[in-house]
Every structure is written in C-alpha cells, then in structure tokens.
C-alpha cells in the first residue's frame, strides 16, 4: 500500500471503505466484547463535536462544559460528595473548591495509568520511600496494569484470589510493606465480572494510609443499576479514585473513559504547565483529546437517565440468566453465580470449543486464563434468540 500522487475520488475511497468494513463484525454473534454498538444519540452528538479538542479548552469552551457536566453526572452516580463538577483543566489551571474532580480519558487503560501515576506523585512527595514504591493489585486485574508496571518505575504485586475469584484480603495484607503506596480493587473483573471486597480493601487502605483505586471500567455502568448493588464507590470511605468507562456499558462512543478522584490533590499531582496554550495547566495523560466523546457521553447519559441504564442492565442480566439456565441443562456450570453480565462456563476443553464455535457457527467467545473456561459477555447487542441459537450450537459441539 502506498500513498498515491494524485488523490482518489470520494466514490473510489468509499467503495474501498465499504469493502473493508465488511471484514469488521457488526456485533452479531459477538459474546466476547465489553463494548457494544453505541446508542444512536451518542453517535449524532459525537459527529456534531467531531473537531472539538479538549486539549485546548480555551478554544473549545462548549465541549469543556459538556466534559464538566459528564464528570458531575458520573460523580453523582458514584456518590462523590460535592456537586460542582471540575474537569481536569480550568482556565485558571486550578481545581475549584467543593467540586467533583476528574476528567474524561480514552478508557480504562488510561484511567488506571493516571490513577497509579497520581498515587506515585503524591506518595513520593509525602512519604519517605526507600527503594521502589509498590502497589498491590488483584491477580484478576486487567492487563492495563502490566503497562503500569512496565512504564511507571513501580513494582506491581499481585494478590491471590479466593474460591469465588475475589481478591483474598489475607493475601493483600501479606503483600503490604513499607514501600506500598496503594491498593487496587476491581468492581467488575474482566474475566469473571466479580466484585472485590471493596469495604475490606477500604479498611486496609485506611489502616495503612494507602490510596485505593477502584477499576470499575466495566462495572461502573452496571453495579449501580443491579437489584442489589454492592458497595464499590466513593460511599466507601477509603476509595480515593475510580475508573469508569462510558464506552463499555455506558453505551457511548469510543474513546470514552473517565477517571474520578475523591480529592483535588490527586488532580494537582498530575499537573503539567502548558505555557503557550489558552489554559495554564493540563492534568491529562494525552494532550489533544476528543471533545466528541464528551458530547456523546453527555447525550446518552441525559437521554437514557437512570431509568434507561437500569433497563439496559436488566436486559443484559435477563440474557445472562437465560444463558446460565440453558447451560446448566446441558450440564455446564458457571464458575461463579454471575454477579453481572459476564459468565465463565466450565466446559470440557474450552479452547477447542471456542475454536469450533467460531469456525462452524461464527460465534465469538473468549477464554478465562485461570482456570480456563468459556467466557461470555452478554451485551445490549445480543438477543434472547441469539442465546437460544448459541446454546443449540454449544450442544452440538460438546455432544460430539
């Protein structure tokens, strides 16, 4: 592929793009993804703000307003106390008083990186750390923490899981030492959809004066809308930061993530001066960043409201129950009773079953690492009929 000297016509370009797009899935028969088709109102709003750059807030005051409003709505959802939203940068460069502190990221990976970067900056400014600072995370943490370990000059220690795939508090405790700066808990693990014992982690964090980051990239738009939500957010006193992704169960467009902090000192610790911009400081990891995703997230959150998200979660949970019930009839048990719309199914030879499901029937499923099992994420793009068909296909493959 080379760049031609003379430009091609729009028609030529789009005929090629149509052709290439046909290689993408349209989410039909996808049971492996934590993303889904964005809500159409999010797509419209995204288009409307397509050129907005939140890296230069002075030029894009409107998009910035939408970012602040989204941060405020997310703060409310996650029980942050105050009411005036404050996004990552303000014209004065200083976070305001009585605010919800946070900004829109590109997703869980950036949020996790920034949360740990904030911990490191604050801890090394305050504490006498001799040697390499470390954090303790669950064994089940998303691989974005491998990137944290690789880029941040801190040690990442992994605590064992209990029989229900929640982090084992005794193991976390045993890994804390004089160089530990923070803990991580997960509210909606990537592989099992499990929620760590956040209140116990909170107590450990408070007793040892540690930061506690909650990765609710997936669960943030699920747990608040479950029938019996478990405590995972700022209501739990030791929680210092939360990652939540509108581009997963929030039904917004990619790239829409968010990182919220309990206190302004966290944002301040991420500050970099931006001498020649229209604003004095930036607290974000990326410089140029999408205002379109702020508009998309604003639009879908306002349009759906709590009721809309509750219905969305109810729908996905009904699919989850249907799948588990059907799988049990075939003799396959889930590794845990699903907490949210993620199912890990114990089937014989999961790697082979996965391969056959794709090759023979076109189903995209994934696999958990330890133990190896069939991982299925039930998303708004799936239907009850799909689940019935999937179960029939699973039966055919496993009966042979």
Dmax (CA) of the chain:
67
Q: Rounded to the nearest whole angstrom, what is the least distance from the CB of residue 109 to ligand 0PR in the complex?
A: 3
Site track 140-179 with ligand 0PR (rule: CB under 6 A), x = hit: --x-x-----------------------------------
The residues facing 272 across adjacent strands are: 282
Q: 137 - beta bridge partners?
A: 158
Query: Quick one: which of 38, 55, 95, 107 contacts ligand 0PR (CB under 6 A)?
Result: 107
Supply the minimum distance, in Å, between the C-beta of residue 184 and ligand 0PR.
10
* Interface region with ligand 0PR, contact rule CB under 6 A, candidates 3-11, 56-64, 213-221, 303-311: 213-221
Residue 116 has what DSSP assignment? H
CA nearest neighbour of 47 among 55, 38, 56: 38
Stretch 112-131 residues interacting with ligand 0PR (CB under 6 A): 112
Give the Å distances, CA to CA, from 159 to 94, 176, 252, 289, 290. 37, 10, 33, 34, 35
Whether the ω angle into residue 255 lies within 30 degrees of 0, i.e. cis, is yes
Contact positions with ligand 0PR (CB under 6 A) in 232-291? 245, 257
Q: With binding defined as CB under 6 A, does residue 109 bind ligand 0PR? A: yes
Among 87, 180, 190, 290, binds ligand 0PR (CB under 6 A): 190
Please tell me what DSSP assigns to residue 195. B
Exposure letters 81-110 (e unless 16+ CB within 10 A, then b):
eeeebbbbbbeebebeeebbbbbbbbbbbb
* Joined tokens for residue 70: 């989204």
Of 156-164, 183-191, 309-317, 336-344, the window that binds ligand 0PR (rule: CB under 6 A) is 183-191
Beta bridge partners of 244: 216, 258
**Smallest gap from residue 189 Cβ to ligand 0PR (A):** 6
Would you tell me which residues interact with ligand 0PR (CB under 6 A)? 33-35, 107-109, 112, 142, 144, 186, 188, 190, 215, 217-218, 245, 257
């Amino acid at each position: 592929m080379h760049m031609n000297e003379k430009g091609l016509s729009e028609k030529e370009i789009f005929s090629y793009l149509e052709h290439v797009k046909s290689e993408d899935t349209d989410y039909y028969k996808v049971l492996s993804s934590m993303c889904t088709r964005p809500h159409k109102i999010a797509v419209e709003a995204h288009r409307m703000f397509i050129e907005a750059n939140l890296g230069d807030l002075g030029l894009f005051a409107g998009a910035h307003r939408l970012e602040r409003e989204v941060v405020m709505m997310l703060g409310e959802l996650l029980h942050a106390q105050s009411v005036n939203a404050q996004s990552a940068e303000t014209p004065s460069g200083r976070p305001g008083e009585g605010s919800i502190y946070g900004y829109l990221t590109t997703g869980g990976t950036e949020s996790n990186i920034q949360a740990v970067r904030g911990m490191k900056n604050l801890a090394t400014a305050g504490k006498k750390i001799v040697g390499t600072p470390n954090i303790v995370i669950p064994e089940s943490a998303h691989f974005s923490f491998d990137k944290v370990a690789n880029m941040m000059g801190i040690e990442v220690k992994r605590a064992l899981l209990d029989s229900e795939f929640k982090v084992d508090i005794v193991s976390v405790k045993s890994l804390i030492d004089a160089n530990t700066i923070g803990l991580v808990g997960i509210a909606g693990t990537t592989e099992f959809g499990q929620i760590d014992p956040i209140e116990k982690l909170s107590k450990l964090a408070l007793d040892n004066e540690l930061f506690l980051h909650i990765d609710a990239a997936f669960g943030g738009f699920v747990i608040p809308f479950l029938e019996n939500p478990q405590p995972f957010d700022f209501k739990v006193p030791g929680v210092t930061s939360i990652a939540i992704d509108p581009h997963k169960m929030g039904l917004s467009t990619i790239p829409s993530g968010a990182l919220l902090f309990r206190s302004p000192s966290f944002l301040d610790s991420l500050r970099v001066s931006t001498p020649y911009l229209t604003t004095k400081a930036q607290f974000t990891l990326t410089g140029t960043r999408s205002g379109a995703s702020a508009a998309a997230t604003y639009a879908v959150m306002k349009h759906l409201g709590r009721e809309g998200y509750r219905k969305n979660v109810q729908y996905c949970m009904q699919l989850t129950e249907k799948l588990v019930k059907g799988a049990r009839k075939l003799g396959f048990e889930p590794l845990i009773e699903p907490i949210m719309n993620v199912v890990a199914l114990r089937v014989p030879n999961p790697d082979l079953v996965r391969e056959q499901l794709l090759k023979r029937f076109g189903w995209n499923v994934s696999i958990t690492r330890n133990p190896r099992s069939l991982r299925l994420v039930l998303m708004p793009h799936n239907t009850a009929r799909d689940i019935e068909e999937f179960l029939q296909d699973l039966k055919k493959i496993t009966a042979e």
